[in-house]
């Protein structure tokens, strides 16, 4: 089999399908080459099976990248309102959870079916279960797969990042980028739970399943949200968010009582003792955690300086995570194809005309809450309109 198209899209995930539909609508003959048995598998497991498909507050500030300005053009060209309009055109019911996060009422499957329907209507051909052996460029791009050869003037790399290898994630996109001389920014797992060191694990991890509202920070970055104890460390939205900014070996600071004055609460108690402190903490921390915290931080005396010290410790629990749970559990991969290599309007390589990179393979990583899909849609649409 030797087939010729206008554009070949490697990877039929969120970004690849969006790009294919946009290019197909403009009359381009498009092939999506996907190695998994069906496209969009990550969409199906996203948002706990309900797909947090966008965030109505999505702004460039919600992304990490060596060049924080890079996302601006694509995000302005394809907005959350554009994707919502598509969802509404397909009569998919959805709801807002918190802070602009939009989820399907029923199932993430509906988002995938919507994208497949858009592709089908635009005449896009999808080739699932297609293992790629080689990508090269002569007069045009040539993709040699086990099932045949694909040729086109344009090649879009949409193979995603390294997170969740058992879902089909590969470093293939980075290999293609390197092959064509593009620079890769070092990759690392992001939006990922922390593993604690042995001492902290022994002290806290039997609390697995317990969660609390905290403010967590590292360097200049801070998030206020839920933290969850796990069997090996810490997770929950606040922890996942800060993990994207964490550098190995650095401490994180956790305020277990954001905005609360513990010293005042305990100082007012008629009897200053362990029970009074525990009671004060139980006003905002889960009972089991409050008890453990007081057991491990019982003041040496019941005077004002000792209570002030407990107050400080509770507002600034300093931990050095042993590491993260890695790509196996990371929601996304930070780093990737250097944005300096790409046009921010079209995602086309500056060095190699006709070669595009979109979605997670690019050095753009969103905060939790629908921003990563919005980047996939926006970068995919930008490239699709340029093909």
Ligand X SMILES: Cc1cc2nc3c(=O)[nH]c(=O)nc-3n(C[C@H](O)[C@H](O)[C@H](O)COP(=O)(O)OP(=O)(O)OC[C@H]3O[C@@H](n4cnc5c(N)ncnc54)[C@H](O)[C@@H]3O)c2cc1C
CB of 52 to ligand X, least distance (A): 3
CA angle at residue 184 from 182 to 188, to 5 degrees? 165
CB of 315 to ligand X, least distance (A): 31
Write the burial class of residue 85 (CB in 10 Å: 0-12 exposed, 13-18 middle, 19+ buried). exposed
What single-letter DSSP state applies at residue 193? P
Give whole-number Cα distances, 123 to 3, 90, 154, in Å.
15, 18, 17
Tell me how far apart the alpha carbons of residues 274 and 290 are, in angstroms, rounded to a whole number. 11
Q: What token pair was written down for 141?
A: 């791009």
- Is 370 a binder of ligand X (CB under 6 A)? yes
Write out the DSSP string of 207-252. GTT-EEEEEEEETTEEEEEEEEE-SSEEESHHHHHHHTT--TT--E
Is the separation of the CB atoms in 151 and 6 below 8 Å?
A: no
CB of 155 to ligand X, least distance (A): 12
Sole window of 243-251, 286-294, 319-327, 369-377 interacting with ligand X (rule: CB under 6 A): 369-377
- According to DSSP, the β-strands at 94-96 and 221-229 are unpaired
Q: Which is nearer to ligand X, 52 or 218 (CB)?
A: 52
- Is 233 a binder of ligand X (CB under 6 A)? no
- Is 14 a binder of ligand X (CB under 6 A)? yes
Q: Which is nearer to ligand X, 38 or 291 (CB)?
A: 38
Sole window of 136-144, 164-172, 269-277, 345-353 interacting with ligand X (rule: CB under 6 A): 164-172
Q: Which is nearer to ligand X, 276 or 332 (CB)?
A: 332
Print the binding letters for residues 306-345 with ligand X: x by CB under 6 A, - otherwise: -------------------------xx-------------
CB of 221 to ligand X, least distance (A): 19
Which of 132, 152, 234, 240 touches ligand X by CB under 6 A? 132
Q: Which is nearer to ligand X, 165 or 283 (CB)?
A: 165
Sole window of 33-41, 57-65, 262-270, 274-282 interacting with ligand X (rule: CB under 6 A): 33-41
Write the burial class of residue 210 (CB in 10 Å: 0-12 exposed, 13-18 middle, 19+ buried). middle
CB of 306 to ligand X, least distance (A): 44
Which of 4, 26, 27, 45 touches ligand X by CB under 6 A? 45
Write the burial class of residue 80 (CB in 10 Å: 0-12 exposed, 13-18 middle, 19+ buried). buried
* 215, β-bridge pairs: 224, 255
Q: What token pair was written down for 92?
A: 């998919």
Print the binding letters for residues 171-200 with ligand X: x by CB under 6 A, - otherwise: -x----------------------------
Q: Which is nearer to ligand X, 174 or 204 (CB)?
A: 174
Cβ-proximal residue to ligand X, closest one: 13
What single-letter DSSP state applies at residue 197? P
CB of 205 to ligand X, least distance (A): 22
Complete edge-to-edge strand list for the sheet that includes strand 101-104: 52-55, 101-104, 94-96
CB of 53 to ligand X, least distance (A): 7
Write out the DSSP string of 358-373. -GGGBS-EEPTTTHHH
- Is 15 a binder of ligand X (CB under 6 A)? yes
Q: Which is nearer to ligand X, 175 or 316 (CB)?
A: 175
Q: By the criterion CB under 6 A, which residues form the site for ligand X?
A: 10-16, 33-36, 39, 41-42, 45-47, 51-52, 132, 158-160, 163-164, 168, 170, 172, 331-332, 359-360, 370-373, 376
């Amino acid at each position: 089999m030797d087939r010729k198209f206008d554009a070949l899209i490697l990877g039929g995930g969120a970004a690849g399908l969006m790009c294919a539909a946009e290019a197909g609508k403009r009359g381009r003959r498009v092939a999506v080459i996907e190695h998994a048995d069906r496209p969009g598998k990550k969409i199906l497991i996203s948002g706990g099976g309900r797909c947090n498909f966008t965030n109505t507050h999505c702004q460039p500030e919600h992304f990490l990248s060596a060049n924080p300005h890079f996302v601006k053009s694509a995000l302005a060209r394809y907005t959350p309102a554009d994707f919502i309009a598509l969802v509404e055109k397909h009569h998919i019911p959805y709801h807002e959870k918190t802070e602009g996060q939009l989820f399907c009422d029923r199932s993430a499957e509906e988002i995938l079916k919507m994208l497949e329907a858009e592709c089908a209507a635009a005449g896009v051909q999808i080739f699932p279960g297609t293992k790629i052996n080689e990508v090269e460029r002569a007069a045009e791009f040539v993709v040699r797969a086990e099932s045949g050869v694909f040729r086109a003037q344009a090649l879009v790399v949409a193979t995603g990042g390294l997170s969740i290898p058992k879902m089909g994630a590969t470093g293939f996109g980075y290999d293609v980028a390197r092959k064509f001389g593009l620079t890769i920014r070092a990759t690392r797992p992001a939006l990922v739970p922390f593993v604690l060191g042995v001492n902290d694990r022994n002290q806290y991890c039997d609390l697995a399943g317990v969660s609390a509202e905290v403010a967590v920070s590292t360097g200049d970055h801070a998030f206020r949200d839920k933290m969850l104890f796990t069997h090996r460390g810490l997770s929950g939205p606040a922890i996942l968010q800060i993990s994207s900014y964490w550098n190995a070996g650095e401490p994180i600071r956790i305020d277990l009582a954001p905005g609360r004055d513990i010293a005042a609460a305990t100082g007012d108690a008629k009897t200053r003792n362990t029970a009074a402190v525990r009671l004060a903490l139980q006003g905002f921390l889960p009972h089991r955690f409050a008890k453990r915290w007081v057991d491990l931080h019982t003041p040496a005396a019941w005077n004002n300086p000792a209570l002030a010290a407990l107050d400080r410790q509770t507002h600034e629990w300093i931990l050095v995570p042993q590491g993260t749970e890695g790509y196996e559990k990371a929601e996304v991969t930070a780093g990737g194809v250097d944005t300096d290599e790409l046009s921010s309007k079209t995602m086309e390589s500056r060095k190699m005309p006709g070669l595009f990179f979109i979605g997670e393979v690019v050095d753009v990583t969103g905060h939790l809450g629908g921003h990563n899909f919005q980047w996939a849609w926006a970068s995919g649409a930008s490239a699709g309109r340029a093909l």
